[in-house]
Amino acid sequence: MGNESIYTDGNMLEKIFPVPKPIIATLHLLSLPGSHHYRGESMGELLDYTIDEVKDLIDAGVDGLIIENHGDIPFLQPDEIGYETVSAMTYIGTEVQKYAAAYQIPVGVNCLANAAIPALAIGKAITARFVRVNQFVNAYIANEGFIEGLAGKIMRYRTMIKAEDIAIFADVHVKHGSHSIVADRSIREQAKDVLFFCGDVLICTGSRTGDPPEEHELREIKVTPDTPVIIGSGLTVETAERLLAIADGAIVASDFKEDGVWQHKVSRERVLRFMDSIRQIRQKISVR
């Protein structure tokens, strides 16, 4: 028995998603109570907006959903996230999960910025299958300031609330920041750090929201052929076949929106076109 089997529970991407190259759609929640751009909308109004997007995304054939408080720009640091954010995301997430469960669509949580422990609390309450952690190990300088990887605290909290069934999807060389703190460590070594500290799925992103990852970074993060690596930003219809030849799936946000702009509402037509291209890619894989 090798060391890896002691610390991992198999390929969690394959366990959560029964299809090759799964596409996880991001639900950019509107600004929530307490955030800068919140203007007093009722929770019902915030929920209706999100459920409308959920219906279009599932109808168009996405494989998973992840709720994310992207409307809360500018983001707080993890230990500053308020009860109001956790409760609002739990309220909306519960209804998203109810709807998605009817179609056997897995749901995940990303609480910005890098609030993995609040995300796990939300995930436990709504029976999510995974959380996204933008900085799981090491550290970097983000828009919010110094962001520290809290893998030890995150994993202990997950154990404490009996949420071991919630997988950790962790970014490597995360976007929106400077990595000068770890500049003496290669991206491959940082990917190994995530695996060593019990991350389940690795995420490769571009430098900003909507930017595609570099192919060489994707290859470096995929430490072994069996390491599950997904794209975390910038995948489009035009780049899907090339990048998914390396990556095992993707989280998609901007390309599913009207005009490809992340602040806009989901475009059902764009999602249909995107997922049609994914089905063609899967067919090519199946005949190899």
Q: Where are the domains of the chain?
A: 3-286
Which of the four pLDDT bands, split at 50, 70 and 90, describes residue 182? low
Number of H helices, E strands in the chain: 10, 11
Per-residue confidence (pLDDT) for residue 3, from 0 to 100: 39
Per-residue confidence (pLDDT) for residue 140, from 0 to 100: 77
Q: Which residues pair with 109 in a beta bridge?
A: 67, 131
Any residues with CB less than 8 A from the CB of 269 and at least 6 apart, and which? none
What pLDDT digit, counting tens, does each position of 55-67 carry? 999 999 999 999 9
Any residues with CB less than 8 A from the CB of 108 and at least 6 apart, and which? 24, 64, 65, 66, 67, 123, 128, 129, 130, 131, 132, 169
Question: Cα(first)–Cα(last) distance of the chain, in Å?
Answer: 31
Buried/exposed code over 55-80 (b: 16+ C-beta within 10 A; e: otherwise):
ebbbebebbbbbbbbbbbeebbebee
Gyration radius of the chain's alpha carbons: 18
Q: Which two tokens stand for residue 274?
A: 């995107």
Residue % of the chain over a pLDDT of 90: 81
Tell me if 150 sits within 8 A of 36, measured CB to CB: no
Per-residue pLDDT, averaged over 126-154, amounts to 89
pLDDT beyond 70 at 127: yes
**Could you tell me which residue, 221 or 143, shows the higher pLDDT?**
221
Per-residue confidence (pLDDT) for residue 249, from 0 to 100: 98
Q: Which two tokens stand for residue 115?
A: 């609030």
What pLDDT digit, counting tens, does each position of 77-111 carry? 999 999 999 999 999 999 999 999 999 999 999 99
Which of the four pLDDT bands, split at 50, 70 and 90, describes residue 2? very low
pLDDT beyond 90 at 132: yes
Per-residue pLDDT, averaged over 116-126, amounts to 98
pLDDT beyond 70 at 6: no
Q: Domain 3-286 class?
A: alpha beta
Of 156, 134, 93, nearest to 232 (Cα)? 134
Per-residue confidence (pLDDT) for residue 200, from 0 to 100: 97
pLDDT beyond 90 at 51: yes
Per-residue confidence (pLDDT) for residue 141, from 0 to 100: 79
Q: Is the peptide bond before 74 cis (omega within 30 degrees of 0)?
A: yes
pTM value is 0.92
* Residue 28, amino acid: H
| Per-residue CA distances from 57 to 134, 252, 255 (Å) | 24, 11, 12
Hey, is 60 helix, strand or coil? coil
Any residues with CB less than 8 A from the CB of 156 and at least 6 apart, and which? none
